[in-house]
Amino acid sequence: MNSPLILSLTLLLGACATPEDARVVSKTEPASPEQIEASRAVAKSLATQLGGKLKQELETRGPESAIGVCKVIAPQIAADLSKQTGWQVGRVGTRARNAATGTASGWNAQALGVFAERMQQGEKPDALEFAEIVTAPSGTRTLHYAKAIAMQPMCLTCHGATENLSAGIKARLQADYPLDRATGYSVGELRGAVVITRPL
């Protein structure tokens, strides 16, 4: 039979224990319209700059050279925007071409999952956004924003069905991206997202 003292100690120790599901976790809340608009402007700037560079390269030097734009120029544009804003700006893909920088994980993957579900319900990828504010247990607050990227016709040159890619494109992809998985897309399909992590 348990004495009152032993029973009291047992209850006290049980109250002090911290089970897995009782740990402090991050909290999420919606972003404000102003925060979304500012993030949207940065995402649009990246897409506009990159699209312009790709179009110029395709017209002047051809599709094989345009692969270099995505490999070199796109990260530079993202880095410049990150430096200008103090935010972390980048791109992730539903299927990564560069596994080191384009693989979605954590909240990026969550955003792509949300986009895929919404597209299955008939929404157009051009209008899809994901935004939330996360407050960590430490109290730091971070805005996560993602803007969906849909496949455009000119992107099929390097991201379309493998059997439709030219021999030159295949060779360049093999040289620059030996672990490439970013082919087999069709126009309008979800390609990935511009992602922004913004400390608040």
pLDDT in tens, the chain (200 residues): 444 333 333 333 444 444 444 456 789 999 999 999 999 999 999 999 999 999 999 999 999 999 999 999 999 999 999 999 999 999 999 999 988 888 999 999 999 999 999 999 999 988 999 999 999 999 999 999 999 999 999 899 999 999 999 999 999 999 999 999 999 999 999 999 999 999 99
Q: Supply the pLDDT for residue 14.
A: 44
Q: Which two tokens stand for residue 173?
A: 């992809």
Cα–Cα–Cα angle for 79, 85, 88, rounded to 5 degrees: 50
Q: Supply the pLDDT for residue 194.
A: 97
Q: Supply the pLDDT for residue 188.
A: 94
Amino acid type, 89: V
Burial class from Cβ neighbours inside 10 Å (0-12, 13-18, 19+) for residue 170 reads: middle
In the chain, domain spans: 23-199
Q: Supply the pLDDT for residue 65.
A: 92
Q: Provide the terminal-to-terminal Cα distance of the chain, rounded to the nearest Å.
A: 56
Q: Under DSSP, is residue 25 helix (H, G, I), strand (E, B) or coil? A: coil
